[in-house]
Amino acid sequence: MAVTGGTTQAYGAKSKSLLLAVLLTFFLGPFGMFYTTVFGALVMLVFTLPAVLLTAGAAWGVAVPVSMIWGVWSGHRYNERQRRG
């Protein structure tokens, strides 16, 4: 067992970096969500790509913040599941 950041984790347990999740989704939009959630990234892409085409890119301004929130939330949930075993 290793103590990291005030929590105890078993050796070999990998956690997702929430900072990396924010940065990837900020710069790559829904594509950055593949780091934390493949299903969520695919859902966002299915809705975002047509919306961006129909709005001449304006929907990207909505898709990026939504992707950031969803990416961090799914990374947090992943880390919690890893902690609980």
* DSSP state for residue 73 in the 8-state scheme: H
pLDDT class of 10 with cuts at 50, 70, 90: low
C-alpha span between 54 and 35 (Å, rounded): 27
- pLDDT tens for each residue of 35-69: 999 999 999 999 999 999 999 999 999 999 999 99
Closest CA to 17 of 30, 39, 32, 1: 32
Is the Cβ–Cβ distance between 37 and 27 less than 8 Å?
Answer: no
Handedness of CA 12, 83, 37, 59 (dihedral sign): negative
